[in-house]
Amino acid sequence: MSRVRSWLGDRVRSRLDALLDPRLELAAATSPATKSNLRQLFLTYREAIEEERPLPSVRDVGFRVFSELDEDGIILFLLAVAGIDRARFVDIGAGDCLTASNCANLALNLGFHGLFVDANADAIEGAAAFYARHPDTRAHPPKVRHSFITCENVNEVIRDAALDGEIDVISIDIDGNDYWIWEAISSVQARIVVIETHVEYGLEDVCAPYRADFDWRRHSRRDQVFGASPAAMRRLGQKLGYRLVGGNRLGFNAFFLRDDLGADLLPAVGVEELLRHDRNRELGSSSGSP
């Protein structure tokens, strides 16, 4: 009997741990201490800028609160460099709008309003419920929309969420047509762009052709170009008036600043900056890229 009780006790504790750990992690990620530390770091960057002291490089400022890797820290730094306009964001390809999110930290800890969009209806339904009840956002939750984004509908989706003109951050991660979606956006003008790129192509300038119904789960093949290389994405950024300023730790998320913002503080970097990590050399070798 004691063994049965012990086994049942272990099962209960295991279930409780599984339920409580995510809640405890979320509570820590949105705690007053976390908010205070983020705002203090932002002010430290701003003070350095105002006093004309040297700034760190993008590769040295990253950390994760909600993002997949170190994107949250990089975005905070770039906001200090670019300045914050109306504290608004657009997140295209947002998943569940929380896990590995480039914009959840903005909504939950920094008081930003904005739009999350994803093609997964269940994920979007859960996200809408979460932000409607969370203490940090329930008074004015971000817009959450279910949509399969194409070049043809992206501006309509953004406008329908009552967003237009200047926004602070746009994140694009839709696993395929990212390049073409960025090129198509005209409804908003972002100060900072975070966009997925494919470092496995190394220094090659390659981009898959646009296909409105492209779904990587059904259409991608190993012998076809997938998405866009860092060089192609930098070329598009230059065309649209943006400069590449860095990438996340593994290079697959590229960061762009609009050319009229902070050019004297944070100059453009080369594509090589996204390829620094040893992982990217291994990917390039396996794909046949340089």
Q: Are 172 and 195 in contact (CB under 8 A)?
A: yes
**pLDDT tens digit string along 130-155?**
999 999 999 999 999 999 999 999 99
Question: What's the mean pLDDT when you consider all of the chain?
Answer: 89
Q: What is the mean pLDDT of residues 23-41?
A: 92
- Over residues 7-13, the mean pLDDT reads 51
Q: Which residues does 124 contact at the CB level (< 8 Å), separation at least 6? A: 97, 116, 118, 144, 145, 146
Q: Tokens 């209960």, residue? A: 12
- Supply the pLDDT for residue 212: 86
Which is nearest to 140 in space by CA: 112, 118, 105?
Answer: 112
The CATH class, in words, for 42-287 is alpha beta
> For residue 58, what pLDDT is reported?
95
| Closest among 63, 67, 68, 69 to 41, alpha carbons compared | 63
Write out pLDDT tens, residues 226-240. 789 999 999 999 999
Domain positions in the chain: 1-30, 42-287
The one-letter amino acid code at 54 reads P
Q: What pLDDT shows up at residue 172? A: 98
pTM of the model: 0.88
Q: What angle do CA 31, 123, 101 make, to 5 degrees?
A: 45
Q: How far is CA 231 from CA 109, 243, 273, 285, in A?
A: 33, 12, 11, 17
Residue 257 β-bridge partners? 192, 243
Question: What percent of the chain shows pLDDT beyond 70?
Answer: 86
DSSP state at residue 204: -
How many percent of the chain have pLDDT more than 90? Answer: 78
